[in-house]
Structure 1
Amino acid sequence: MAAVYSDLEGQAVLVTGGGSGIGESIVRRFAGQKCKVAFIDVAKEHSEALVRDLTSQGSAVRFEHVDLRDIDALRRAIKRVKADLGPISILINNAANDERHQTPEVTPEYWDDRIAVNIRHQFFAAQAVLPDMKAAGRGVIINFGSISWMIGHGGMAGYTTSKAAVLGLTRSLARDYGPYNIRVNAIAPGWIMTQRQIDNWLTPQALRELEERQCLKRKIMPDEIARFTVFLASEEASACTNQQYVVDGGWV
């Protein structure tokens, strides 16, 4: 049975990339804490199905259909969320896309797109919610990184560069906003068995590598990341800020 954190009840939570994968598990876990949850995603059909499912269970969930590369659209969506749910006290910057790409084929336009998909929106989402957090004298921002850059994963330099940058963004914001009791941390997941990962990359050879390199000789599931995210957002982690937490089954 998952832990219940009473301090989270009623708080307004925003999750980017919350329609599937790790993000969906995070949305479900915060809804289970009786939070007011909004999430942003570009995938409309699956996201709307998630809202219907959670709403039928009595949860307060709102979906905003936005391409996070469009910062003006992101800002408008956050304004709508705040008008509906109130000031956002917890921001989970989860959205990303680990699309593979070979270095000789990367154009400046494609490089900029990878940065926009994987890191730029994290800063601007934080920028949009920080004034309300500052006014309230509290808040939590959790930025999602990856172990990919730590283990030297090749074939997606735009992604790994972006994910390495998450740590720099996290530490800068934590330093600037710590005096206002705003905690900013990063989570670096390992190879998490979302449906996308299973469909695209879980080959017998990849599974053998996982078993060789992870300390835990099993697959790590999205809900395991979600449970840690909820803990880190709660007052049980009240002294935790300016850090990156690796959740990878012991790969790194």
Structure 2
Amino acid sequence: MRSDEWSHGFLVWNLSLGSCLESPENTISPEASMLDQLQNEYDIVFVVAGTNKTQEDSQTQPKCIWAPADSSNSLVVNATSILKEPASYTREGPVLNFFRKPDISCFGGDATEQMAAWSPQGVNLTTGTSFAAPWITRKMAYLIYVMHFSRETAKAMLIDAASGWEKISADNIKVGYGIVPTKIEDILTTPSNEIRFILEGTITSFETYNYRIPVPMVNGKYPYMVRATLCYFPKCNARQGVDYTSTELDFHFGRMREWASTH
């Protein structure tokens, strides 16, 4: 496939596959490293299933995800039950001890209620992160092809809609940042008491940006809560170990504080 086909043809790819092995603490899998390189170079995005436990695995003992769900740039999807709880077969991160994986979750069926999927024999009831991921791929494709958002904005909107305003527990690592709403309208719109800003840019070297965001003032104060979802597709290098990503972002929201000179 030519590079122009990568960049102008198929922008969203679904990968419903995975290894039975567990990710080590200090290594990224070769498969994930390749996916990260492709996404950095060709302006595409992979939606990857979060991998499942096998029938021989304990349903009560945690098991780490592995290739290719340890991809940093990919949108990794775990499965939930109809009760919006982590499915019994889901595996968990983090990757390299601090990358939260999976990113998000979606209904994938469980013992309570299975998912209806098409097979060569007709409709089949089944379960798995492999069946949850395509639902997110569909939403990602809609945001990019229909709404004409960039892949960064589309990925950020899915994560932002999943995380909501609830405090994200460090222990709730099976669902990632949260469960993505079923309706696309709940991703594209905000309630009347919210304001959403989408800021995009390209950084080629060390740069500092300062945006004047218009926020309404009430009685001389700003009685609001703010959350920010940052999304980018950095260049990665598996040979750098835990320092896997070559670019980091630092974000501050609020007034610039005036520091007194020490000279």
Normalising by structure 1, we get a TM-score of 0.35
Normalising by structure 2, we get a TM-score of 0.34
**Bigger Rg, which one:** 2
More strand by share: 1
More helix by share: 1
